[in-house]
Structure 1
């Protein structure tokens, strides 16, 4: 509830009071912030904002697989924070399955949880799974 008059009225005109002008400025800021929040939510839903957690084995870094994929991803999705960490290969599939990481770069042969897609990293698109967000269509 507003305890000040926002308008000064006469028979010929209506004018904002000082309190009304301040209220109008603040209301415009609120609407603009709501629009920015809505757009940020849309971008996050499309995977253009947020962060991804990547787990990898050392050999992927030595073979330049990891660097190439991350460079491509960052060029396409500059507003997504990418966090990489080297992890013992045997732990990667379970961490992926439990949602502790979004992407795993590892060397076969190793058992994969059934819910996670598996493919050759250089030949497959670099994708993450929701809800953390991805930049869709990055190859």
Structure 2
């Protein structure tokens, strides 16, 4: 018993006419008749009543027609799914992100991607300060939203936007009443910094590039964004952070003050180098599409440091 025999039987059962069924299958009528006879022999029961004028299903034929429809539908579905998988249109995509991901663009990017690949499964994985690559360095994710500058060895990064930086200070700190500060005013302050081995990341958020080779007077290491906010609120340190902290990490004991002369932080979508699988390539393209389309959101993000 094979799929060709099943398809022959289904065509004949639906047409109830050998000539029409043979034409539908592009086979000779004699060949169709042999396939049906072979199928009946394998089943050990007649499937059709044949006369010189009519073709009718037997009770066994009616039961077998239902089963044949189910088998062929499942097989055709499997073929289609396999082809989609081969083209990279289905499967699981592991998306890593650090705190904030791509901010207000995140849901738009995910919606754009899932709209293109409704059969793909997306897994979201958040990573803390210890891994600014959001899982890419250890191959725990396939693609990720990352913040730059950080170590990008072995990664291909596609920038999405640059966000201004602010400093979080306790509301009891004299700087909390300011509308802006300069980096020079922060160099003697204790700085909160997420614990990480990524020196590029660490140097940026501790203002190392402004210290002429010197070190911060005091660093307070933290393990998470929420821990850093509590450290700042307690007056134990200041925290240099993206302007989105105003929206994503508000705290009654913290005020975020714009830093006038520190470069912004770049949010990018990143992947490992080498030829990407189709889902990864499509995700990066979806991110770029949304970035270029959502200009109002970008303007809000990039001008957020002066908004209370």
Instruction: Point out where structure 2 has 5 or more consecutive residues left out of the alignment.
Output: 1-41, 162-266, 290-308
Structure-1 residue corresponding to 2:106: 66
- Residue 277 of structure 2 corresponds to 130
**CA–CA distance in structure 2, aligned partners of residues 78 and 19 of structure 1:** 40
Is 2:157 the partner of 1:118? Answer: yes
For the 8 Å contact 1:55–1:84, the answer to whether it is kept is yes
Give, in whole Å, the separation in 2 of the partners of 1:135 and 1:109: 23
Structure-2 separation of matches of 1:42 and 1:57: 34
Q: Hey, which of these two has a bigger chunk of helix by percent? A: 2
Q: Secondary structure at the match of 2:151?
A: coil
Corresponding residue for 1:41?
82
**Count of matched residue pairs:** 136
Deviation at 1:87, TM superposition (A): 0.6
Match of 1:88 among 128, 153, 159: 128
TM-score, structure 1 as length reference: 0.67
Structure number having the greater strand percentage: 2
Q: Deviations over 1:1-45 (max 9, x none)?
A: 413222334566553321122212321222122222222233333
CA distance in 2, matches of 1:135, 1:36: 26
CA distance, structure 1, for counterparts of residue 137 and residue 269 of structure 2: 19
8 Å CA contact retained: 2:92, 2:122: yes
Change (3 A) 1:97 1:15: farther
Q: C-alpha distance in 2, partners of 1:94/1:23?
A: 54
Partner of 1:29: 70
Q: What is the CA–CA distance in structure 2 between the aligned matches of 1:109 and 1:42, rounded to whole Å?
A: 40
Q: For 2:137 and 2:74, locate their aligned partners in 1 and report how far apart those are by CA, in whole Å.
A: 36
Q: CA deviation at 1:82?
A: 2.4
Q: Does the residue aligned with 2:49 lie in a helix, a strand or coil? A: strand
Q: Contact 1:55–1:86 (CA<8 Å) still a contact in 2?
A: yes
Deviation at 1:84, TM superposition (A): 1.6
**What do you get for the CA RMSD once the two structures are aligned?**
3.6
For the pair shown, the structure with the greater C-alpha radius of gyration is 2
Task: Answer 1 or 2: higher relative contact order, Cα 8 Å, separation at least 6.
Answer: 1
SS in 2 for 1:95: coil
Take 1:135 and 1:41, find their aligned partners in 2: how far apart are those partners? Answer: 19
Distance 1:35 1:109 in 2: 49
Whole-angstrom distance in 1 between the partners of 2:160 and 2:86: 24
Hey, what does 2:16 align to over in structure 1? none
2:49 matched residue in structure 1: 8
The one-character-per-residue Cα deviations of 1:78-123 (angstroms, maximum 9, x if unpaired) are 4433222211254364832554212111112333352x42221459
**Closer, same or farther in 2 for the Cα pair 1:43/1:125, shift >3 Å?**
farther
